[in-house]
Structure 1
């Protein structure tokens, strides 16, 4: 589990920390709109990993009021902590905008982003917990366990209802069935509930013009929950069939991946709207990655080689937070003045180009240095068994 989470957060750091955005390998850039890239698999894999951990944590004793109170208190505390973390990071981003004047006129709490990555994790975790408990099966010893059939039905129902809503519910002024940044139902709902001022500052067509959507918006969080639910099923398989889990999960992952591709002509693969096809395809990728890691980790040499990922995954939330905060520092225009202001990112890329002639390799090298730096920060915590648990 730690290695899978570590793989996800390591990918996030590399994707978000290039030396030069204009000289970044295509797989490390998010798809402009429709389609998918390797970078688009990072967040879904983390959501999938959340589900796997939940699937492994059951069965649980929930027979007494005290048991249930203790369980739901932990769930509520985690959800609250993740939402607060997301809002704090959004506030820091707004403060950085004001100091750096990246988006003139957008610095202030009146422009703080309300949706976000931690917020989406919180909601996916909450729904998964509710479904596991209320659709679960009671074992002979009284403990509550995952009901895989109910979880599977819920996942299919969510994806089907999301497709139907986006396809058939008309957006005022635009009609139904649109899948673009402005006219899609998820974008419209986010504008109405949060208002454009509280959405992702880059949530516009081609990252320019008025903000119209948020990639972690409200309606699109529902299909994202499916990634977590499918992770729950993977965790259940790991627990029930430990000897053949890698094979079963790999086969299921391949089926999900193909299902996502087959659904693409009907409901196009799109991460920013988190279409049903994207949820299936990305869950398939995550499942195959998990199966591959299960197989690799049988070999001691592979286990040792993957220790850095284990270190990152053991403190995944801290790594995520560090990547955001250090990313702000990294891209902040500390140097120069006026139109000639430049950042550590620019300086690092220029330095790398002094040793590496290929600008794409130099840009990737900067991202790898950031990954090494964050790993070095959390490694002493790992050795002392200090983990940030929300």
Structure 2
């Protein structure tokens, strides 16, 4: 018969061995979990933001391709604001909102900075490639640019600058962010005071330079096949906000060189420059010399103030993060939007600071940011509050693939590809045939036909294309 004491010792020994085995298994599991790569969780997309981004892309295609037929929706020749003038600040507003959501949690600041720098470089590369003069899409089937005339600034370059500054400030101040806001309407502003400080610095730099920088006389050369003519613009002043002698243009001429600026500024549609105003037309013989000069609408000084557009956008993103109720969010958004609109209207109609896209004036920033806030709030009500998501799905799809549609549609790369397959003549392509026979001839109007072609052929096509790509999970992300 076995000794009961030894049996108890044996059982105790087995229990100890089992416990040690369990601990060993747990340690191995923990070690395996540590060694496994962290799987990046898919972030939930904000349908309102995607729809707003899609709308902005649609507006860009509309004004770029139909603006020549309808001058009232094309860029304002100087002071004032048209439909086309909302596109750029809407993009910057959206960039700000997206930064707040994307950088809500930053595990490693150094890695985040690297990603921001890489994305900025990608934007700069595509900006120079698409708008630097290398691409002549969609009508001219040629490519290449004289480096003496390359355009350094553009839409994506401005977005890159704003994105870099706003994202870096957001990243470096991550440890100063509050988890819970203090009571009060202004708590969201004080909690993110460093972001607003960055916007204020941009404002001070712009205003100080614009109104205090001395602009001397300047000259430029216009070359044709038959002759070369030099023109001189008389300035010698400070604080001028007209086309000829503003500090915005002077800074770009000094930094980039006059040959690297946009060669067809919209001020050529002013009455002083053409009898066809507000449409494009031949420059008058008695037009001032500056009518023939280049000017950069996405220049350096104006892009500095554009940082403020991104700052306002990131504020809307912060509100979305910290306020959970619909009414609380809308109260913050709408009140700020209305305040910005009121400031802009007062500045413009008192002639203190006219609304001007070419100069990217402070009143223009306020007016367009206020409009962006209203549109964003309207989308939020329709999609998130009322649940009307289906009617705006095509905008969401375009917004999810905004970069791809921008390149294919707004920059004319896809039409250029189609135009490359012509029959006998470069004007005899599928694109021209559809526009002429399906739209212009049917409606007996080139203007109306162009508008309908852009809406029902181009925009509809890109909406369907975006939907198909979304179905297969294909996106172009920088």
State the shift of 1:237 in Å. 0.4
State the shift of 1:119 in Å. 0.7
State the shift of 1:198 in Å. 1.6
Do structure 1's residue 214 and structure 2's residue 302 form an aligned pair? no
Match of 1:242 among 324, 347, 355: 324
Do structure 1's residue 48 and structure 2's residue 93 form an aligned pair? yes
> Where does residue 29 of structure 1 map in the other structure?
74
Q: Note if contact 1:45-1:282 (Cα within 8 Å) is conserved in structure 2.
A: yes
In structure 2, do the counterparts of structure 1 residues 183 and 364 end up closer, same or farther at CA, with 3 Å as the change threshold? same
Do structure 1's residue 7 and structure 2's residue 89 form an aligned pair? no
Do structure 1's residue 179 and structure 2's residue 241 form an aligned pair? yes
For structure 1, the residue ranges without an aligned partner over 5 or more in a row are: none
Higher mean C-alpha displacement, 216-225 vs 347-356: 347-356
Number of residue equivalences:
375
User: TM-score, with normalisation over the residues of structure 1?
Assistant: 0.86
Do structure 1's residue 380 and structure 2's residue 445 form an aligned pair? no
Deviations 1:233-262 (A, max 9, x none): 000001111312123211211111111111
Q: Note if contact 2:141-2:416 (Cα within 8 Å) is conserved in structure 1.
A: no
Deviations 1:104-157 (A, max 9, x none): xx953332211011111110001102222344553588xxx9942332343244
In structure 2, do the counterparts of structure 1 residues 140 and 94 end up closer, same or farther at CA, with 3 Å as the change threshold? closer
Q: Note if contact 2:78-2:358 (Cα within 8 Å) is conserved in structure 1.
A: yes
In 2, distance between residues paired with 1:332 and 1:177? 47
Deviations 1:242-295 (A, max 9, x none): 312123211211111111111222111100110111011110000111111110
User: TM-score, with normalisation over the residues of structure 2?
Assistant: 0.71
In 1, distance between residues paired with 2:418 and 2:299? 25
> Where does residue 251 of structure 2 map in the other structure?
189
In structure 2, do the counterparts of structure 1 residues 11 and 205 end up closer, same or farther at CA, with 3 Å as the change threshold? closer
Query: Secondary structure at 2:163's aligned position in 1?
Result: helix
> Where does residue 356 of structure 1 map in the other structure?
443
Higher mean C-alpha displacement, 88-97 vs 6-15: 88-97
Q: Note if contact 1:181-1:212 (Cα within 8 Å) is conserved in structure 2.
A: no
> Where does residue 366 of structure 1 map in the other structure?
453
In 2, distance between residues paired with 1:43 and 1:331? 28
Q: Note if contact 1:87-1:114 (Cα within 8 Å) is conserved in structure 2.
A: yes
In 2, distance between residues paired with 1:132 and 1:49? 15
The one of the two structures with greater contact order (alpha-carbon pairs below 8 A, sep at least 6) is 1
Higher helix share: 1
Match of 1:159 among 186, 203, 221: 203
In 1, distance between residues paired with 2:340 and 2:417? 38
In 2, distance between residues paired with 1:108 and 1:328? 24
> Where does residue 232 of structure 1 map in the other structure?
314
Query: Secondary structure at 2:122's aligned position in 1?
Result: helix
Q: Note if contact 2:403-2:476 (Cα within 8 Å) is conserved in structure 1.
A: yes
Q: Note if contact 2:124-2:156 (Cα within 8 Å) is conserved in structure 1.
A: yes
Do structure 1's residue 319 and structure 2's residue 364 form an aligned pair? no
Larger Rg computed on CA atoms: 2
Q: What RMSD over aligned residues (CA atoms) do the two structures have, in Å?
A: 3.1
